[in-house]
């Protein structure tokens, strides 16, 4: 491995640990309030409203909680997908879900679709709500290090609009990116929605009511 690549990986590990510590330290009430604003801001985006098939995620730990957005998508009669981690294959597979009752604890303790109660989705995906550890204004995303979303977004979900969601404390000036890192198209925080890449974070959509 060349020195430059190893340096980027070390920098990513240090930054990942620092951002996660800050995010984990946010008060629960503050995370809940910010998550509600983020969900409302995503729901106001045209790229979300126009999407027929959307993939979200079931929040784990201190991640942005998008359960309200999942419920809104169901009410809007969208096809809602949630990921299931297939660790042996090093991939995530989307399943169509129509209610919370089909989720079970899966890999890493994350709520995942029960394959005995819902079917995998093999059709096109219009928009993906993407979690992560850190993001920047160039569209950069840093995940947890396993590369699941990078492979999914450039494979089965290639062509979908990528909407990253994060708390403002997760946004940095510039990430140490690598060629395999899939860029984001939008970044939504509690401060608003930003079209990427952005030289400055000019707000494109303010949070409003979901529904």
Rounded CA separation 60/201 (Å): 27
Q: Which domain holds residue 60?
A: 3-195
Confirm or deny that 13 is annotated as ligand binding: yes
Rounded CA separation 83/89 (Å): 14
Sign of the alpha-carbon torsion through 202, 72, 172, 34? positive
**In-domain check, residue 61:** yes
Instruction: Provide the β-strand partners of residue 91.
Output: 86
Rounded CA separation 74/54 (Å): 10
> What pTM, to 2 d.p., does this model score?
0.90
Confirm or deny that 145 is annotated as ligand binding: yes
Confirm or deny that 75 is annotated as ligand binding: no
Cβ proximity of 36 and 68 under 8 Å? yes
Which single residue is written with the structure tokens 């503050």? 30
Confirm or deny that 14 is annotated as ligand binding: yes
Instruction: Please determine, for residue 35, whether its predicted confidence score (pLDDT) is greater than 60.
Output: yes
Confirm or deny that 106 is annotated as ligand binding: no
Confirm or deny that 143 is annotated as ligand binding: yes
* 160-161-167 Cα angle (round to 5): 130
Confirm or deny that 141 is annotated as ligand binding: yes
**In-domain check, residue 206:** no
Pairing between β-strand 134-135 and β-strand 186-189 as defined by DSSP bridges: unpaired
Identify the DSSP state of 10.
H
The total of structural domains in the chain comes to 1
Instruction: Provide the β-strand partners of residue 184.
Output: none
**In-domain check, residue 130:** yes
**In-domain check, residue 202:** no
Cβ proximity of 103 and 30 under 8 Å? no
Segment 106-124 shows an average pLDDT of: 93
**In-domain check, residue 209:** no
**In-domain check, residue 210:** no
CATH number at residue 74: 3.40.50.10420
- The stretches of 44-103 forming alpha helices (DSSP H) are 46-49, 67-75
* Band of residue 198 on the pLDDT scale cut at 50, 70, 90: low
Confirm or deny that 147 is annotated as ligand binding: yes
Instruction: Please determine, for residue 44, whether its predicted confidence score (pLDDT) is greater than 90.
Output: yes
**In-domain check, residue 159:** yes
Q: Tens of pLDDT along 127-159?
A: 999 999 999 998 999 999 888 999 999 898 988
Confirm or deny that 142 is annotated as ligand binding: yes
Q: Give percent above pLDDT 90 in the chain.
A: 73
**In-domain check, residue 172:** yes
């Amino acid at each position: 491995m060349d020195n430059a690549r190893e340096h980027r990986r070390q920098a990513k590990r240090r930054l990942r640990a620092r951002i996660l510590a800050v995010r984990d330290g946010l008060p629960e009430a503050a995370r809940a309030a910010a998550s509600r604003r983020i969900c409302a801001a995503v729901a106001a985006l045209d790229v979300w409203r126009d999407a027929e098939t959307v993939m979200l995620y079931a929040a784990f730990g201190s991640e942005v909680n998008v359960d309200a957005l999942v419920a809104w998508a169901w009410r809007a009669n969208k096809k809602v997908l949630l990921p299931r981690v297939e660790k042996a294959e090093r991939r995530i597979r989307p399943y169509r879900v129509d209610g919370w009752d089909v989720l079970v604890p899966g890999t890493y303790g994350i709520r995942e679709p029960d394959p005995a109660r819902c079917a995998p989705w093999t059709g096109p995906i219009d928009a993906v709500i993407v979690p992560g550890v850190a993001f920047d204004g160039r569209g950069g995303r840093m995940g947890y290090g396993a590369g699941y979303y990078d492979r999914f977004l450039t494979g089965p979900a290639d062509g979908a609009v990528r909407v990253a969601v994060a708390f403002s404390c997760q946004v940095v000036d510039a990430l140490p990116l690598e060629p395999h890192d899939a860029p984001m198209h939008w970044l939504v925080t509690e401060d608003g929605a930003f079209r990427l890449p952005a030289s400055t974070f000019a707000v494109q959509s303010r949070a409003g009511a979901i529904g």
